[in-house]
Amino acid sequence: MSNGNFSAEDGPSSVGRSLQQARIAAKLTVEEVSATTRVRIPIVQSIEVDDYSRCGGDVYARGHIRALARAVGLDPAELVARFNENRGDAPAPEPPAPVFEAERIRSEPRRPNWTAAMVAAIVAVVGFVGFTLVSGSGDGSGDQVAQSESPDADSEAVPEDDAVGGDDANGDAADEPAPSQSAVAGAPADKVTMKVVANGPSWVMVTDANGRQLFQGTLQDGDAETFTDDDQLDLVTGNAGAIELYVNGKHLDSIGDPGAVQRLSFTPGDPEEG
């Protein structure tokens, strides 16, 4: 397939112009759309002027058009059909998933599993001690080792009530919050605290009252981030339906539909959409 440009005479029917107008109407920058779709900024800029020479072929161009259309709220199928009509090509089958592998953000290196290492070390120590006791039981040395390690064990036994602190210990434990409670439930009243939980992949950007960027990136299903500021926190998300918010200890039922771009601002008072 050949790579070329649509002329400016295409006017409103131009795929690139439709994407650009929808992005501007949604008040999104090229950088925000690029971060949401993982389509590089130069490619987004070229597509908006109907230049597909940077896409590497029409198959890749169709994939980029679909991603950009979803980000700005347009129908991907309609734009791809218009692209095919203008190019004079029959619709191509969906590209395989690895097509955009080069565009993916490199994942962080996996952290060492220290828990598994500690369990393995404990098992090894217990096994060695057990082997030592069994191997020495033939000549009576095992009994001597056991007795030397715990002399007068019965006389030194601590009553169960004393070991756990009696009624006082139970009372203190009952006063402590359950581990499952939200981390923002005890947020200070003079600050604004926001916890972002992803129920699906979504691009998220969080800034403070001074416009300083606290976080920007894509949260995957199950990821959670918590932010605090003295005055204000601003949130922009590219997939509002996949985001669950806890603001100042309060849970927001919904902040938008799946695939919708949403901008919200919160202060130390009750949660209010900006």
Residue 155 lies in a domain: no
| Predicted TM-score of the model (pTM) | 0.35
Q: Each residue of 34-67: pLDDT tens digit?
A: 999 999 999 999 999 999 998 888 999 999 999 9
And the tokens for 64?
């980029």
Residues 73, 33 contacting (CB under 8 angstroms): no
Q: Which pLDDT score, from 0 to 100, does residue 167 have?
A: 47
Identify the domain boundary among 44, 75, 103.
Answer: 103
CATH code at position 214? 2.60.40
Residue 159 lies in a domain: no
Identify the domain boundary among 103, 128, 159.
Answer: 103
The better pLDDT of the pair 146, 113 is held by: 113
Q: Each residue of 152-173: pLDDT tens digit?
A: 544 444 444 444 444 444 444 4
Residue 226 lies in a domain: yes
Domain boundaries, position 38: 8-103
Whether 78 shows a pLDDT value over 90: the answer reads yes
Beta bridge partners of 228: 193
Q: Which pLDDT score, from 0 to 100, does residue 229 have?
A: 92
Q: Which pLDDT score, from 0 to 100, does residue 101 have?
A: 41
Which of 110, 65, 107, 114 is closest to 87 using CA atoms? 65
List Cβ neighbours of 33 (8 Å cut-off, separation of 6 or more).
23, 39, 44, 68, 71, 72
The one-letter amino acid at 142: G
pLDDT band at 138; cut points 50, 70, 90: low
Distances in Å between the alpha carbon of 121 and those of 48, 129, 132, 149, 248? 59, 12, 17, 21, 43
Residue 139 lies in a domain: no
Q: Each residue of 177-222: pLDDT tens digit?
A: 444 444 455 567 789 888 989 988 988 888 998 889 899 888 899 9
DSSP 171-217: HHHHHSPPTTS-TTTT--TTSEEEEEEESS-EEEEEEETT--EEEEE
Residue 165 lies in a domain: no
Number of domains present in the structure of the chain: 2
CATH code at position 25? 1.10.260.40
And the tokens for 66?
């679909």
The one-letter amino acid at 85: E
Q: Where are the alpha helices (DSSP H) in the chain?
A: 15-25, 30-37, 41-48, 58-72, 76-87, 114-135, 141-149, 160-163, 166-175
Identify the domain boundary among 78, 103, 128.
Answer: 103
Q: Each residue of 91-105: pLDDT tens digit?
A: 545 554 444 444 444
List Cβ neighbours of 244 (8 Å cut-off, separation of 6 or more).
196, 197, 198, 199, 251, 252
And the tokens for 264?
């919200």
Alpha carbon distance, N-terminus to C-terminus of the chain: 47
